[in-house]
Amino acid sequence: MYKIGFIGLGIMGKPMARNLLKAGYSMVVYDINNEVVKELVRDGAVEAGSSSEVASRSDVIITMLPDSPEVKEVVLGKDGIIHGVKSGTVVIDMSSIAPSTSRALSEELLKKEVVMLDAPVSGGEPKAIEGTLAIMVGGPEDTFNRVKDILGKMGASVKLVGEIGSGNITKLANQIIVALNIAAIGEAMVLAAKAGADPEKVYQAIRGGLAGSTALDAKMPMILDGNFKPGFRIELHIKDLKNALETSKELGIESVLTERVMDIMKALNNDGKGKDDHGGIIRFYEKSANVEVRK
């Protein structure tokens, strides 16, 4: 059984690492937050003092970090993976970053005879805890097959979608659809509430039809309870849409709806709501309509 290194133990990374420990994998962990490292050590992991040390003690290295700059630093920085990694190691970056960054890091790691997969996830904290994430993987098929069982301990759906960078392309498409879906829910439910309809009854009436969606069923109960505790923060969704818009620009395509939802999220972030769950997009519409969608 492979020895796994795990770097990045935040909202998503911590429960993902825990699921690997529960599955019986030996694990070395590192995070800049030492308190969360201690939690994983109590669960059976071994502490490392740097990303380089994790790399030197692992056969498979998983990173789960906020954005491209953090992944670049962890892989190529002063105490980065590249300085401790052994030939034949597999690096799986499960962060949601720019596809171009995934490709560039892969090229550098290949010089050390290390193969990288980009494997971003969807499902937020609840599915990270359950081990039922959707995992979208880019990279060589033979490497994917080597680590598919590891990924399967963290996700219910593990799909190889193409070469390196394709995982993050798929994640950008996912994040556009999720953002627009949640924005549509907010706009529609504020319309219903402002017109005097019971939003809970409206939700129950439409959820079985074409307007029904995973996003609707995940976010409407939270909205009705006024619960915006983050499963996935608005500020992180802004990051994903930034990467999506930058990629769209590189490809020369229009992303009109994405741009509008990005403006809404930025307005909420400026209003101090960036750490709220992205279901809180509805509060932009609630504020402008002077109405709340609640039970």
In this predicted structure, what is the pLDDT of residue 21? 97
Residue 91, token pair as written in the block: 């690096």
Do 19 and 91 lie in one domain? The reply is: yes
Query: What is the per-residue pLDDT for 160?
Result: 98
Last residue of a domain, one of 126, 146, 164: 164
Per residue in 106-158, pLDDT (tens digit) is 999 999 999 999 999 998 888 999 999 999 999 999 999 999 999 999 999 99
Nearest residue to 126 via CA among 279, 262, 266 = 279
Residues 123 and 200 in one domain: no
Residue 151 and residue 91 share a domain: yes
Q: State pTM to two decimals.
A: 0.91
Neighbours of 186 (CB within 10 A): 23
Q: Are 225 and 125 within one domain?
A: no
81-99 average pLDDT score: 97
Name the domain count of the chain. 2
Residue 104 has a pLDDT of: 98
Domain CATH for 207:
1.10.1040.10
Could you say which DSSP state residue 98 is in? -
What is the average pLDDT score of the chain? Answer: 97
Residue (of 46, 93, 88) closest to 80 by Cα position: 93
Find the domain containing 135 and state its range: 3-164
Q: What is the pLDDT of residue 108?
A: 98
Domain co-membership, 220 together with 93: no
Residue 294 domain-assigned? no
Residue 1 in this model has a pLDDT that exceeds 80: no
Average pLDDT value for residue range 91-101: 96
pLDDT single digits (tens) 170-222: 999 999 999 999 999 999 999 999 999 999 999 999 999 999 999 999 999 99
**Average of per-residue pLDDT across 46-52:** 97
175/226 same-domain check: yes
Q: What is the CATH number of the domain that holds 114?
A: 3.40.50.720
Residue 222 placed within a domain: yes
Amino acid at 95: S
pLDDT of residue 124: 86
Q: Is 250 among the domain residues?
A: yes
Q: Count CB-CB contacts under 10 A for residue 152.
A: 14
Q: Residue 121 burial by CB count (10 A; 0-12/13-18/19+): exposed, middle or buried?
A: buried
Question: Degrees (nearest 5) of the Cα angle 25, 29, 34?
Answer: 140
The amino acid present at 83, given as its one-letter code, is: H
The verdict on 14 and 155 lying in the same domain is yes
Q: Is residue 92 part of a domain?
A: yes
Which of 134, 164, 194 is where one domain is finished?
164
**Dist. CA 279–CA 228, nearest whole Å:** 7
Query: Is 171 tagged catalytic?
Result: yes
pLDDT confidence tier of residue 26, bands split at 50, 70 and 90: very high
Catalytic residue among 14, 127, 171, 273: 171
Same domain, 160 and 195: no
Last residue of a domain, one of 114, 140, 164: 164
Q: Is 121 contained in some domain?
A: yes
- Verify that 77 and 175 share a domain, yes or no: no
Report if residue 208 sits inside a domain.
yes
Residues 92, 150: Cα–Cα separation, whole Å: 10
- Measure the CA–CA gap between 203 and 211, rounded to whole angstroms: 10
Average pLDDT in the 230-258 region?
95
For residue 2, the model assigns a pLDDT of: 84
